Amino acid sequence: MSQYVNRAVVLAKRPNGEPQNDDFRIEEQPLSELAEGEILVRTLWLSLDPYMRPRMNDMKSYAAPTPIGGIMTGEVVGVVMESRSANYAVGDRITAYGGWQEYFVKPDDAPMMYKIQEAGIPLQAYLGAAGMTGRTAYFGLTEIGKPQQGDTLVVSAASGAVGGIVGQLGKMHGCKVIGIAGGSEKCKFVVEELGFDACVDYKAGNLEKDLQQACPNGIDIYFENVGGDVTRAVATLLNEGSRVPICGYVSNYNDTDLSKVQTPQDILATSPHPPTARFFVQTEWQEQHQQTTQKLAQWIKDGKLVYRESIAEGIEQSIPAFQGMLTGKNFGKQLVLIAAE
């Protein structure tokens, strides 16, 4: 047996609405000795993301649900502690889908596991602006949104990990960028630090009117992160030929029955000018993973992309941090520092 003892967060039962503490369980799990071609990784940083909530449900989706007793899914930055692989050496930093746990073993050909080519930015950025979050923003906007100079781009959850990057990329393409966020503090951050042209506070109670004032020439691209009432307000303002990349609809993820939810596609179909819209995941462009990560990392290093993080510490804090993220308590990318180097 390995000298390391792992602690992992597993799914204890399916949530009914908002995840409760007893929907999770922290287990101590022994680790086996490495076989040829395997590596043992210590988790340094864990990424918490909205997609994890639907995975807790037993429902058809683009990915299999987390089984009862299974380790919660998640991407991590880790350091190789032991190696029986010619491809990875002790001390290598990697990104991988290691899950909510302190250690894990992977074969060296595991899918979506990459050695980090460090570019002088914080390691955790390879989970955020230079990682899955940044790639989601990049591919969704460029491949589906197809931004053109002078387009009006509206981004929901604009202060969030994905939305904040989308807006900055939109400005690089010459778009007029309008954010939608909750609260004056987040809206101030979106305009003053991320460089959006304006930000509508959906909590102020005048969403439709305020959005119409911010978009007098209509909306050409809407980057969907939220769903629900925000999408309904956007749908009335979409221009002919508009495009909508659908990243998610977090406002509904804690609903007790997602099969009864009015999805963004349902809402957008009621628009006077129904857009070209589709749900996407960044793995559709997996072959461009490394080059896009390097591009994003360079923009961060050069100060062209800025971001904010919310950081919890310790495997135990992953549960309340995840619960808070689903209700908007985080500001920017939600991370958990599992172990300091």
The parts of the chain modelled with pLDDT lower than 70 are: 1-2, 61-62, 253-259
For residue 229, the SS3 value is helix
Do residues 161 and 185 touch, judged by C-beta distance below 8 A? no
Q: Report residue 152 as tokens.
A: 């009006």
The Cβ-side half-sphere exposure at 82, using a 13 Å CA radius, reads 15
Q: What is the DSSP string of 184-221?
A: HHHHHHHHHTT--SEEEEGGGS-HHHHHHHH-TT-EEE
Superfamily (CATH) of domain 5-128+308-337:
Medium-chain alcohol dehydrogenases, catalytic domain (3.90.180.10)
Q: Which residues does residue 71 pair with via DSSP β-bridges, in sequence order? A: 10
Residue in this structure with the two tokens 């549960």, named with its chain if needed: 319
Amino acid at 308: R
Can you give the pLDDT at residue 11? 97
Which pLDDT belongs to residue 248? Answer: 87
**Residue found by looking up tokens 């305020």 in the block:** 210
**Do the domains spanning 5-128+308-337 and 132-283 agree at the CATH topology level?**
no
Q: What residue segments make up the domains of the chain, in order of their start? A: 5-128+308-337, 132-283
pLDDT at 118: 83
pLDDT of residue 218: 98
pLDDT of residue 163: 96
> What is the second-level CATH architecture of the domain 132-283?
3-Layer(aba) Sandwich (3.40)
**Which pLDDT value is given to residue 261?**
75
Q: What is the pTM of this model?
A: 0.90
| 74 within 8 A of 47, measured Cβ to Cβ | yes
Number of CB atoms found within 10 A of residue 123's CB: 17
* Radius of gyration over every alpha carbon of the chain, rounded to an integer in angstroms: 20
∠ at Cα 261 (258, 264), nearest 5°?
115
